Structure 1
Amino acid sequence: MTLQLKTTHSKDGTKIAYYQIGSGPGLIILHGAMQAGLSHSELATHLSQSFTCYLPDRRGRNKSGPTGEDYSTRKEVQDVESIHVSTGAKYIFGVSSGAFITLKAALAAPSSHIERIAVFEPPWLPESEREATMDWVRRYEEEIGRGEVAEALTTAMLGTQMGPPLFHSKYFPRVLLVWLSKMMLGGEQSANRKSKKGNPPREDSMTPPSFQELASTLQNDFKVGAEMFGEQNLETLAAVKTETLVLGGSRSPAYLRRAVRELEKVIPHARRVELEGVSHVVTCNKAQGGKPEIIARELQHFFLLGNHAKAPKSN
């Protein structure tokens, strides 16, 4: 099976591109920060024998239209609804910030539109941690506004506790981490130039966007997260009536492991599964450190059988 590029339009007219693969019930896979639809192409391939998978480029990324004015989670929810209208898909899997959008979509959509949802590590924080988080978010925004992409990505990786392990070692000063980020971006640009040599860009290209291209979109993901920070916002999810699978990795940062525990407590029909030995990148393609076959096994079991069936055994 091969991926097919398709488009629809959201309520405000923004073009939303998505990739389609497989056959069976429709499943929307909604990516997180520093990702685009193709970031989960291997996960979709694993699921394609059982589901028709739809991989949107969230607004502002890759083949979709611009973020637009007055950006909010509500706009992203409308984008998801436009894909449902175009495809009839009633299952959604949301990753990280995409998990928040998935939960909000479950709150907003008629019950006939969404039957089951699964979410992976939405980055929820308690109100007591909002101010410290927004401090480094503001620094990121200032750096990206000045075009200091390596500096901004370094700030984001330190703030979110993501990136290579050495980024979180006390032995590496920030100036060295910025230099490493510049090397990473430079290597990526060099590889992209080589791959494009003699091959003019095509509208239907299956090449995912670069980190350089995605860096500014982190602003959207931070806004999605900030709209959900705090205990009061978490409690609104008690109104999610959809059967929900909450997934997390045992090697993810502590704040993400806490978030999935809190979600399980507040969502009435939720079941939590902690995946042993994996981290926040497990949903991604293998080139990005993912183990998509592990996630695919959990999703296939849940979306076909629900939370009350016996859980699958790991190989």
Structure 2
Amino acid sequence: MGMTASRVASADGTSISFLSAGTGPGLVVLPGNNRRARHYMELALALSAAHSVHVLDRRGRGESGPQGPGYGIDREVDDVLAVMAHTGADRVFGHSYGGLVALHVALRQPVRSLVVYEPGVSLHGRFDLSFLPEFARRVQSGQRVRPMALFLRRMGLLPFGKAPAFVYIGITALVLAGKEGAEMRRMMPTTAAEIGEVARLDSDGSRYREIRSPTLVLAGDRSLPAFLSSMCEELAGIIPGARYELIAGLGHNAPDNDAPAVVAERITAAMAQS
């Protein structure tokens, strides 16, 4: 079974593209940083057995419009609400930065069920995002390998710890030379603004006490950086009535790359309870 492409205008007129599959209760899927809707096709098709699934190409990627000069988390929320209104979907799943967006959707408007996998939330400054100005400068100057290497090293997303910068540069060069490399290069300019929002929204997490939707926070026990799972557990403790589940053997890219079927099972089970 394939997926059909549609688009809708967001509140500021930006065109938002999304892929849909399945029938049943509507579920919106929000991709992470530097990811497209198509990266979640396996997850969406697994979910489509029980849901009508709609996977966004968030702003700045694919056929969707640009982030725009007024970019911020509120624009992303506007986009999601436009898709929800167009499709009738009332359930949301978000991965990584898409998980941060999903949380803020639920702050704006309660949803029937909310599931996030390792959302891009920074609590108590645990993410050191002081590298952002250098990252943004390098991307604006047309560089791609060095800023991505800087991002991976400073975010602690590879298992090389304090290895010299040239190690990260070499690995990044290989990644960007691969079959996904061209698209990753095209999406990289969206990363600076998204990291900027993660930094701006860093807090003690108390804002998330206002979420009134049934919520499941998922994490993998092999994710990096190592504090990610404990931060997810802390977040679940802040959201009223939220549940936390640590899944053995999974890393940060389980929903899009490594174990979409496993994640889909957890999402389906959570949505069935609402």
Query: What's the TM-score, normalizing by structure 1?
Result: 0.82
Q: Secondary structure at the match of 1:104?
A: helix
Q: Distance in 2 between matches of 1:138 and 1:105?
A: 28
Deviation larger for 121-130 or 19-28? 121-130
The change in CA–CA distance for 1:178 and 1:41 in structure 2 (over 3 A counts) is same
Deviation at 1:141, TM superposition (A): 1.0
- The alpha carbon displacement at 1:128 in A equals 4.3
- C-alpha separation in 2, matches of 1:102 and 1:128: 21
Q: Verify: 1:254 aligned to 2:226, yes or no.
A: yes
Counterpart CA distance in 1 for 2:243 and 2:23 is 26
What is the rounded CA distance, in whole Å, between the counterparts of 2:17 and 2:125 in structure 1? 38
Task: Sort the Cα spacing of 1:39 and 1:223 in 2 relative to 1 into closer, same or farther, 3 A.
Answer: same
Structure 2 gap segments, 5+ residues each? none
What's 2:148 paired with? 153
Q: Does 1:138 align with 2:160?
A: no
Cα shift readout 1:145-190 (whole Å, capped 9, x = no counterpart): 1111000100111122224x3xx155x521242133223323337x
Task: Find the residue that maps to 1:19 and give its secondary structure.
Answer: strand
Indicate conservation of the 8 Å contact 2:98/2:120, yes or no: no
- Looking at structure 2, the residues matched to 127 and 274 of structure 1 have their Cα atoms a distance apart, in angstroms, of 21
Q: Is the 8 A contact 2:132 2:196 kept in 1?
A: no
SS at the partner of 2:69?
coil
Equivalent of residue 265 in structure 2, options 297, 305, 309:
297
Q: 1:178 to 1:72 in 2, by over 3 A?
A: same
State the partner residue of 1:205.
none
Q: Is the 8 A contact 1:4 1:20 kept in 2?
A: yes
2:171 to 174, 177, 180: 180
2:207 is the alignment partner of 1:236: yes
C-alpha separation in 2, matches of 1:128 and 1:80: 27
Q: Which residues of 2 match residues 139-288 of structure 1 at below 5 A?
A: 139-163=134-158, 165=159, 168-170=160-162, 172-188=163-179, 210-231=183-204, 234-252=205-223, 253-285=225-257
CA distance in 2, matches of 1:251, 1:183: 23
Mapped partners of 1:263, 1:128: distance in 2:
14
SS at match of 2:179: helix
Q: Percent identity?
A: 27
CA-to-partner distance for each residue in 1:191-243, whole Å, 9 max, x for gaps? x8xxxxxxxxxxxxxxxx72111211111321231232121xx1011010100
Q: Is the 8 A contact 1:240 1:267 kept in 2?
A: yes
- For each residue in 1:32-85, what CA deviation from the matched residue of structure 2 results, as whole angstroms up to 9, or x when unmatched? 111011111100111111101100000111110011111110000000000011
Structure of greater Rg: 1
3-state DSSP class of the match of 1:254? Answer: coil
1:23/1:50 contact within 8 Å kept? yes
Deviation digits for residues 122-154 of structure 1, max 9, x if unmatched? 233334446xx2321222112111111000100
Task: Give the aligned partner of residue 206 of structure 1.
Answer: none
For structure 1, list consecutive stretches of 5 or more residues without a partner in the other structure. 193-208, 307-315
Q: In the TM superposition, what are the counterparts of 1:17-166 in structure 2 within 5 Å?
A: 17-109=17-109, 111=110, 114-129=111-126, 133-163=128-158, 165=159
**Structure 1 position 14, deviation (Å):** 0.0
Q: Please tell me the residue identity of whatever aligns with 2:121.
A: W
Following TM superposition, by how much is the alpha carbon of 1:256 offset from its aligned partner in structure 2, in angstroms? 1.2
Match of 1:310 in 2: none
3-state SS of paired residue (1:258): helix
Deviating beyond 6 angstroms after TM superposition, the runs of 4 or more aligned structure 1 residues are: none
Q: Secondary structure at the match of 1:119?
A: strand
